[in-house]
Amino acid sequence: MGMSVTISEATDQDAEQILKLQYLCYQGEAELYGDYGIEPLTQTLASLKEELAGGTVLVARLGEEVVASVRGRVDASGTAHIGKLIVHPRMQRHGLGGRLLLAVEAKLGAEGGARTFELFSGHRSEHNLRLYRKHGYEQVSSERVDDRLTLVTLAKAVEASAFVASA
C-alpha cells in the first residue's frame, strides 16, 4: 500500500524544499502571464524563512518529501490573508489543494482569531479560481496590474468555512 500524505506545520528545515517546490509550481503561472519576474519565482530563501518565523506555513508531506504548501497570516482587523497555495504537479487534481486550504483556514480561524479569509489569484488562473469558489470564496474586487494581469481578490467569512468543511 502507498504512503499517505500528511499535513503539518512547516519547520525551518522545510524552507529549501518549499522554495524549490514554489519555483516549480509557479512556472505555469509565469508562462500564463508572460512574466517570469513574479515574486514567487524571485523570492529568496531568507525571505521565506522570515515568513516561516512570522506566520502560519503548512506543508503536505509524502514520506519526507514536501509535496504541497500554503501560507497565511492574520492582520489586526481579523482578516486572514492566505497565499502561495502550491501543489506539486504530479499531486494535483487529487484534492490535496482543498485539504491544505481547509487546514490553513482551521488554523487561522480557530487559533488565529480570523473573522474573514482573503486570497487572490490572477484572472487567467481558472483552476485556482475554481478551487477557491468551490470552497466558498466569492470575488470581492479586482485590480488591473498591467496589460497582462488582473488580480482577483476573493473572500469568505470564517463561518462560511465551517459550513463548507462540514458539507
Name residues whose C-beta falls within 8 Å of residue 97's C-beta, 6 or more positions apart in sequence. Answer: 68, 85, 87, 131
pLDDT tens readout for residues 127-155: 999 999 999 999 999 999 888 889 999 99
pLDDT of residue 160: 58
- The whole-angstrom separation of Cα 29 and Cα 124 is 9
**Domain ranges in the chain?**
5-166
CATH number of 5-166: 3.40.630.30
pLDDT of residue 2: 54
pLDDT tens readout for residues 9-37: 999 999 999 999 999 999 999 999 999 99
pLDDT tens readout for residues 43-61: 999 999 999 998 899 999 9
User: How many residues are given for the chain?
Assistant: 167
Write down the pTM of the prediction.
Answer: 0.90
H helix or E strand, kind and range, residue 142 = strand 138-144
Grid cell, residue 132, equals 477557491
